[in-house]
A and B are shown apart, each in its own frame.
Chain A
Amino acid sequence: MEDVRRVISVIVMNESSVLARVSGLFAGRGYNIESLTVAPIPSSDLSRITIVTNGNKRVIEQITKQLHKLVPTLKVIEHEEMVEKEMVLVKFSSDQNIADIQVLCEAYNGGIVNAGEDMIIVMAADESKRIEYFLEASQRYSPLEIVRGGIVAIER
């Protein structure tokens, strides 16, 4: 069985140690976490944890079942039809060609978000694959620092 990449959303009670239960399950059972984001769901006592993982069909099935078994888990969504986005922040020296950088960011749903005396900060928000392209392209402007945000996804 070949490995596949999967985006899984876990809707959990927003209570202490729930993230530890989820991450501990991945560590204890030897599952991979490529990225993980978590934030409260507005006007509810729930949180959404979005996990990108990979594994063969049987492993993915076990991951969703084991996640569901955790007592504070309300729902596990194994995304098929979804919109997924990742955000990235990049810092460049202001000696670089800022106009070019701005054009590049705009191609990836981004722009300049902060400009200082000797550096600028830009952001981009797009699908993970496209974020990779963005980071590749930005190499030519010698980025000083890159911060990736992990993936969020929503069912279509």
Chain B
Amino acid sequence: MKMSGAQMVCEALIAEGVKTVFGYPGGAIMNVYDEIYKQNSFEHILTRHEQAAVHAADGYARATGKIGVAMVTSGPGFTNAVTGLATAYMDSIPLVVISGQVPLSLIGTDGFQEIDAVGISRPCTKHNYLVDDIAKLPKIIKEAFYIANSGRPGPVLVDIPKDITAEIADFKYPKDVFVETYKPNYKGNDRQIKKAAEAILKARKPLLYVGGGTVLSNAADLVKEFAKMTQIPAVETLMARGVMGDSNPLLIGMLGMHGSYASNMAMSETDLVISLGARFDDRVTGKLSEFARYADVIHIDIDPANIGKLVEVDYPIVGDVSIVVEKLSKLIKNDIKPDRYQAWREILARYEELHPLTYNDSNEVLKPQWVIQRIGQLLGEDAIITSDVGQHQMWAAQFYPFDRPRQWINSGGLGTMGFGFPAALGAKRGVPEKTVINITGDGSILMNMQELVTASEYKIPVINVILNNHFLGMVRQWQTFFYDKRYAETDLSYQPDFVALAEACGGIGYNVTTKEEFDKALKDAIQQDKVCFMNVAISRFENVLPMVPSGGALYNMLLEHKDQ
């Protein structure tokens, strides 16, 4: 069938089963928007900033497990989208982002709204394309969707010059996709898997180190079963919160810079690390030479480049977590003796008793940890929690009772402030039956607050719980600990009226200073079908603890809560 390049884009999105596109129009992408106007197969959500469009597509992808799609124009439209691409890239989130480009004849002439999009996005996409021939367009879009969500997932950019979207050509969307140079390995090497199984049977203090790849691979049930069968305790990374389930007796907690004492001690004393889709990030390992220093390492990862990158690995297994864990289970099913690790589990239980994850609650002032626990008590499994970046993010990761994968959505790798609100919009659009709460701070929320308008227009009732300490709290915490309390540019005492701000954009606002007010506001917000800003005044100098100072060994944690 003959059609324009712009029509091809729409037809391809429809063929891929896309239901929602987040985007922002502009000159170079107008032809495509004209075709979007004419069709009814997918909805388009007009965010109020291109960064938010990509974060929303990202939140949609994380919540649903499907590919998120965003669309932007050339030049500033694209550069605004770069933070979104980088955020998704660092957390391996499958996105297809389509950007307009100046016409082919203008490329390289510094044309109006021209920027080298494939050049800029090369280090922050899994792959990218500049479409230089309309004949290639259908195949490129097909490949983009395939590459985004296969192997180690990631964002793919398709940059389309304006004249290509206007040109008419034959359209036949390929059924199959074959990229000769791209063949992810899912199965894992059977010889290595066998060796790993033997190592597990021989270990005395094995530990499951569960990472975000477990979520991406939809392996949570298999991993939980594996843990149950073997009775091997587990620690979760920030990106894996929810995989094991909050009430799982084998879950020790989150490890890393703000991990629990027991989790970090478990990693420091284990004799066999079983890494499942985790990548030994510096915020997890602390000082590398001291990390898991008594342990052999089984590293299961779909990306071979992650294996041996930071930590010496004894049993490297390149493969999909689901498939490899299933194979491991079969191999050890008959020989495993869960009693073997009883003493180890008791040691860890004692560590948990010794220094549980805790805080000093107060009746004078709201404590952020209480707020998060309270949301957990009231909503638990029924909520999807997104977050921005900072103290509130760590408190949410520590204190929310996450019960399932994809319940917790945050920017772990890039650490993007401003991610939470638009990601919450995407998550709510993808999973409308859940209550979606963005736990944020008074710094982060301002970085994409224009999305109040989007949320109001499309009636996406996301609840933003702003844990307001009038500080850029995490930086302030480092200044307190390591910079002799010189609070350089972190005091946010000058504040907007958050309630008025929300109302001005068609939402509702609450000012909350007590536990009673919080309960009342949250219950009311859940009833309302409106986006809201809940401005929660919390204790100003609360610190996130435990804390492993940057570059320190995981077992050297600051533990004490001293109220200031």
Q: Which residues of A contact B (CB under 8 A)?
A: 12-13, 16-17, 20-21, 24, 28, 58, 61-62, 65-66, 68-69, 71-74
Chain A residue contacts of B147, Cβ below 8 A: 71
B119 interface contact, C-beta 8 A: yes
Check A17/B303 contact, CB under 8 A, given A24-B123, A71-B147, A71-B182: no
Contacts of B304 in A (CB 8 A): 65, 68-69
Instruction: Please tell me if the beta carbons of A62 and B130 are within 8 angstroms of each other in the complex.
Output: no
B2 at the interface (CB under 8 A from A): no
User: B123 touches which one: A28, A58, A61 (CB < 8 A)?
Assistant: A28
Is B119 a contact partner of A66 (Cβ separation < 8 A)? no
B132 at the interface (CB under 8 A from A): yes
Interface membership of B247, Cβ < 8 A: no
Instruction: Please give the residue numbers on chain B whose beta carbons come within 8 Å of chain A beta carbons, in ascending order.
Output: 118-119, 122-123, 126-127, 130, 132, 147, 179-182, 303-305, 308-309
Contacts of A71 in B (CB 8 A): 126-127, 147, 179, 181-182
Q: Which of A20, A24, A61 contacts B308 (CB 8 A)?
A: A61
Given contacts A16-B132, A61-B308, contact A74 B179 (CB under 8 A): no
CB proximity of A36 to chain B, nearest CB, Å: 17
Contact between B305 and A66, CB atoms less than 8 A apart: yes
B122 (CB) vs chain A CBs: closest residue: A24
Residue of A nearest to B179 (CB): A71
- Complexed CA–CA distance, A3 and B168 (Å): 55
Q: Which of B119, B122, B130, B181 has the most CB of A within 10 A?
A: B181
A13 to B127: give the CA distance in the assembly, Å: 14
Nearest CB on B from A57, distance (A): 10
B127-A74 in contact (CB<8A): no
A12 and B180 alpha carbons, distance in the complex (Å): 11
- Is A13 touching B181 in the complex (CB atoms < 8 A)? yes
Contacts A17-B118, A71-B182 given; indicate if A65 touches B123 (C-beta within 8 A): no
CA distance A20 to B510 in the complex (A): 51
Contact of B181 with A62 in the complex, beta carbons under 8 Å: no
Residue in contact with A20 in the complex, picked from B122, B127, B181, CB distance below 8 Å: B122
Question: How far is B545's CA from A51's CA once the two chains are assembled, in angstroms?
Answer: 47
Q: Establish whether residues B123 and A62, one from each chain, have CB atoms under 8 Å apart when the complex forms.
A: no
Look across to chain B and name the residue whose beta carbon is closest to the beta carbon of A24. B122
Assembly CA distance A100 to B127 (angstroms): 54
Task: Give A72 to B147 CA distance when docked, in angstroms.
Answer: 12
Contacts of B122 in A (CB 8 A): 17, 20-21, 24
The one of A16, A24, A61, A72 in contact with B181, judged by C-beta atoms closer than 8 angstroms, is A72
Name the A residues within 8 Å of B309 (CB-CB): 58, 62
A4 to B200, CA, bound (A): 35
User: For residue A16, which residues in chain B have a CB less than 8 angstroms away from its CB?
Assistant: 130, 132
Complex interface: chain B residues within 8 A of A66 (CB): 305
> In the docked arrangement, what's the CA distance between A73 and B126, Å?
13
Contact between A62 and B305, CB atoms less than 8 A apart: yes
| Alpha-carbon separation in the docked complex, A134 to B118 (Å) | 43
How many angstroms between the C-alpha atoms of A123 and B123 in the bound complex? 39
Residues of A within 8 A of B303 (CB): 69
Q: A49 to nearest B CB, angstroms? A: 13
- A73 & B130 in contact (Cβ 8 Å cutoff): no
Question: Known: A16-B132, A17-B118, A74-B181. Is A69-B123 also a contact (CB below 8 A)?
Answer: no
A74, B180: Cα distance in complex, Å? 7
A20 and B179 CA atoms in complex are apart in Å by 20
Instruction: Give chain B nearest CB distance to A74 CB in angstroms.
Output: 5
How many angstroms from the CA of A73 to the CA of B181 in the assembled complex? 6
Query: In the complex, A13→B181 CA distance in Å?
Result: 8
How far is it, in angstroms, between the C-alpha of A117 and the C-alpha of B127 when the chains are bound? Answer: 53
**How many angstroms from the CA of A74 to the CA of B494 in the assembled complex?**
56
Across chains A and B, which 9 residue pairs bring their CB atoms closest together, nearest first?
Answer: A65-B305, A71-B127, A74-B181, A28-B123, A71-B182, A65-B304, A66-B305, A24-B122, A69-B305
Give, as a whole number of angstroms, the nearest-CB distance from B213 to chain A: 15
Chain A residues positioned under 8 Å from B179 (CB to CB): 71
Chain A residues near B127 (CB, 8 Å)?
71
User: Least Cβ distance of B137 to chain A in Å?
Assistant: 15
Q: List 10 A-B contacts (CB under 8 A).
A: A13-B180, A13-B181, A17-B119, A21-B122, A58-B308, A62-B309, A65-B304, A66-B305, A71-B181, A74-B180
Chain A residue nearest to B306 (CB atoms) is A65
> Of all chain A residues, which has the CB nearest B143?
A71
Contacts of A61 in B (CB 8 A): 308
CA distance A13 to B132 in the complex (A): 16
Q: How far is the CA of A90 from the CA of B305 in the complex (A)?
A: 42
B130 touches A17 (CB 8 A): yes
A65 to B318 Cα, complex, angstroms: 12
Residue of B nearest to A28 (CB): B123
How long is the Cα–Cα vector from A2 to B180 in the complex, in angstroms? 36
Which B residues lie within 8 Å of A21 (CB)?
122
Give the complex CA separation of A65 and B305 in angstroms: 5
Alpha-carbon separation in the docked complex, A73 to B123 (Å): 16
Q: Which residues of the other chain, B, contact A68 by a CB distance below 8 angstroms?
A: 304-305
Min CB distance, B285 to chain A, in Å?
Answer: 15
Q: How far apart are A64's CB and chain B's nearest CB, in angstroms?
A: 9
B160 to chain A, nearest CB (A): 15
Bound Cα distance from A17 to B117, whole angstroms: 12
| Nearest CB of A to B65, in Å | 23
Closest residue to B156 on the A side, CB-wise?
A: A71
Q: How far is the CB of B156 from the nearest CB of chain A, in Å?
A: 9
Q: How far is the CB of A43 from chain B (nearest CB, A)?
A: 16
- Could you tell me the distance in whole angstroms from the C-beta of A76 to the nearest C-beta in chain B? 11
Q: Give the residue name and chain of the A residue nearest to B304 (CB).
A: A65
- Alpha-carbon distance between A13 and B179 when the two chains are bound, in angstroms: 11
A148–B308 Cα distance when bound, in Å, is 36
Cα(A25)–Cα(B96), bound, Å:
22
Q: Give the distance in Å from the alpha carbon of A61 to the alpha carbon of B132 in the complex.
A: 35
Of all chain B residues, the one with the shortest Cβ separation from A25 is B123
Chain B neighbourhood of A24, CB < 8 A: 122-123
With A and B bound together, what is the CA distance between A60 and B182 in angstroms? 21
By the criterion CB–CB under 8 Å, are A20 and B119 in contact?
yes
CA distance A145 to B515 in the complex (A): 80
Chain A's closest residue to B123 (CB) is: A28
Contacts of A17 in B (CB 8 A): 118-119, 122, 130
What residues of B have a CB within 8 angstroms of the CB of A62 in the complex?
305, 309
Q: Please, which residues of chain A bring their CB within 8 A of the CB of B180? A: 13, 74
